[in-house]
Amino acid sequence: MDSCYQTYHDQYDWLLFYELDEFLYLKNYKNIKSFLINKVFDKCESIQLNWVHMSDNNQIFYENKPLYERFPEKGKNVVENQYNKICFVKTMIRGHLKNISIVQNHILNGKLKACNGFGKISILRNKIESVNPDYKFNFIRHYYGKSVQEFVEKMNRGDLLRGNGKRIIEWAIEKFFYINKITPEKIEYIQKYLGNQFNLTKYIAEMNKGELLF
């Protein structure tokens, strides 16, 4: 991402570093261009939008429909965090800036004039989490696991940074059930994939301090 910015920042007005399972949701705008040309962003060097996990909608199997139809509900972690008023952000960066170093798409180095999706100064808690997040108007929908079937296929591919093996299984399951509700049907489906290499019921109970929390 940093190499991309250094190479192309003079060719574009804005650069957005999002992933393939992430989609912009702009409630009151026809498209991304009509959003970015809004005069409220004239003095902004970066726009920080909240990064919202979408739930699996308790779907076990893949359906050939658009993601926004299949998974309309936000993840349970988002619902819980609404009371804490904290949510991760990801950032759009204005082009033509100098001396900008990008660490990752949640964190930027550089003294940028950052604003939220309404053009107001973005208030962050620890460089990556916004205070008073926007879950309704302008945010990023992250479809992490999708259906349980698709989540299992994702686990089977491994992870570029974390590789394969027991730890990636633990990490993936923790994240999946951080976002989604635990149900017997989900445990049964994932356990069939894992076979005897991993006791999912035991692990989830340990993860939840002895309870399955159906």
Nearest-angstrom CA–CA distance, 35 and 44: 13
Please say which residue of 89, 116, 142 terminates a domain: 142
Q: How much is the mean pLDDT over the chain?
A: 86
For residue 43, give the amino acid letter.
K
User: Is residue 23 located within the same domain as residue 43?
Assistant: yes
User: Is residue 70 located within the same domain as residue 156?
Assistant: no
User: Is residue 132 located within the same domain as residue 194?
Assistant: no
Per-residue DSSP letter, 175: H
User: Is residue 108 located within the same domain as residue 180?
Assistant: no
User: Is residue 124 located within the same domain as residue 157?
Assistant: no
User: Is residue 75 located within the same domain as residue 89?
Assistant: yes
User: Is residue 27 located within the same domain as residue 126?
Assistant: yes
Nearest-angstrom CA–CA distance, 65 and 63: 6
Residue 73 pLDDT exceeds 90: yes
Q: What is the residue-wise DSSP string for 2-59?
A: HHHHHHHTTT-SEEE---TTEEEEETT-SSHHHHHT-GGGTT-SEEEEEEEEBP-TT-
Q: pLDDT tens for residues 181-209? A: 999 999 999 999 888 878 888 888 887 76
Q: Please check whether residue 200 lies inside any domain of the structure.
A: yes
How many other CB atoms are there within 10 angstroms of residue 49's CB atom? 27
pLDDT band at 214 (very low <50, low <70, confident <90, very high): very low
Q: Please check whether residue 212 lies inside any domain of the structure.
A: no
Residue 104 pLDDT exceeds 80: no
Q: Please check whether residue 213 lies inside any domain of the structure.
A: no
Per-residue pLDDT, averaged over 27-42, amounts to 94
Query: What's the structural domain count of the chain?
Result: 2
Nearest-angstrom CA–CA distance, 157 and 78: 27
Per-residue pLDDT, averaged over 105-118, amounts to 78
Residue 70 pLDDT exceeds 90: yes
Q: What sign does the dihedral 168-173-174-180 (CA atoms) show?
A: positive
103 vs 22 pLDDT, higher one: 22
User: Is residue 112 located within the same domain as residue 159?
Assistant: no
Per-residue pLDDT, averaged over 169-181, amounts to 90
Per-residue pLDDT, averaged over 40-60, amounts to 94
Please say which residue of 91, 125, 142 terminates a domain: 142
Which percentage of the chain shows pLDDT scores above 90? 51
Per-residue pLDDT, averaged over 93-107, amounts to 81
What's the domain range around 172? 148-207
Which percentage of the chain shows pLDDT scores above 70? 89
CA-wise closest residue to 115 among 89, 81, 82, 142: 89
Q: Please check whether residue 214 lies inside any domain of the structure.
A: no
Nearest-angstrom CA–CA distance, 9 and 97: 7
Please say which residue of 142, 160, 183 terminates a domain: 142
- Strands 114-115 and 46-53, sheet pairing: parallel
Tokens of 147: 């259906």
User: Is residue 65 located within the same domain as residue 127?
Assistant: yes
Residue 110 pLDDT exceeds 80: no
